[in-house]
Structure 1
Amino acid sequence: MPKAKAGDSVKVHYTGKLKDGTVFDSSEGREPLAFQVGAGQMIKGFDAAVDGMEVGDTKTAEIPAAEAYGEARQDLIFDVPKSNLPEDLKPEVGQQLAMSQPNGQQVPVTVKEVEEDKVIIDANHQLAGKDLIFDIQLVEIG
């Protein structure tokens, strides 16, 4: 039976969890996730976990932060004066916002703290700094 390898298009079902068991994403009830192995479409550790699997195989992969979304970076946490925010925005801790970069690209950010004259924004990926666990089932090599 063929094994998934770099360059193969594959479909997998998966459930992603944190170390405490909290599920942050799953393909359950949806179409399987399709991607090309080794093409950089997935986090490094997920790609590596699928490499070598056969159709029907299941595995649990523990992926350290460095092979997932990286470590949280302090330089991606910064202050924004409230005067720079839209007037109708009422920022709250945990709120998800989109910030425009100079090139026009939108970047998702999270409100970390709200102070009288400023808001502290975190532009790290929500899973940065976290070790992840994925239950993976290879459905198809195509």
Structure 2
Amino acid sequence: MSDTVQPDSYIALHYRVANGDDVELVSTFGGGPATMLLGTGELAPPLEQCLIGITPGERHVFLLEPGQAFGAHNPGLVQRIGRADLPPNITPELHGMIEFSSPAGDKFTGVVRELDSETVLVDFNHPLAGKSIRFEVEVLGIM
């Protein structure tokens, strides 16, 4: 067993994710620690990469630019959709999430950016795309 975090480590940690303005988006500090198996998608890959090589007991802060974190905001992923084309039993709400299924069964989630009587503007970018991220982490142990 390695004494540093590896790409397939099962770890216990505290972490905090904030946007570039230091507005906290999620945090386990002040509560119970998170446990996760790296490489399984429990944590976004750019954040997992920050953990590789950390020794338990260390605390780090990583500042990630949009290109290092969730990429640039892609205007091509913002689409105006007719209300009649929305999934059945969906009542769109401003800033709410809508999930769509492709004919192949893939799921796509978007955020409602605008509403009018005929259409809904849906943004399929990751909510943190185009934003800087502050990722603070304390690895408690490798299991």
Structural RMSD (CA):
2.2
SS in 1 for 2:67: helix
Work out the CA distance in 2 between the residues paired with 1:103 and 1:15: 36
Give the match for residue 47 of structure 2: 46
Alpha-carbon distance, 1:30 to partner: 3.6
Give the match for residue 102 of structure 1: 103
Q: Mapping of 1:1-142 within 5 angstroms?
A: 2-28=3-29, 29-36=31-38, 39=39, 41=41, 42-85=43-86, 89-142=90-143
Q: Is the CA contact (8 Å cut-off) linking 2:8 and 2:37 kept in structure 1?
A: no
Alpha-carbon distance, 1:89 to partner: 4.3
Work out the CA distance in 1 between the residues paired with 2:35 and 2:26: 12
Mark the runs of 5 or more structure 2 residues left unpaired by the alignment: none
Work out the CA distance in 1 between the residues paired with 2:32 and 2:128: 22
Q: Give the letter for the 1:13 counterpart.
A: H
Q: Greater shift after overlay, 65-74 or 4-13?
A: 4-13
What's the TM-score, normalizing by structure 1? 0.84
Work out the CA distance in 2 between the residues paired with 1:116 and 1:45: 39
Q: Is the CA contact (8 Å cut-off) linking 1:15 and 1:26 kept in structure 2?
A: yes
* CA displacement, residues 81-127 of structure 1 (integer Å, 9 cap, x when unaligned): 12223676443321211112222232221111112321111111111
Q: Is the CA contact (8 Å cut-off) linking 1:11 and 1:35 kept in structure 2?
A: no
Mark the runs of 5 or more structure 1 residues left unpaired by the alignment: none
Q: Is the CA contact (8 Å cut-off) linking 2:17 and 2:25 kept in structure 1?
A: yes
What fraction of aligned residue pairs are identical, expressed as a percent? Answer: 21
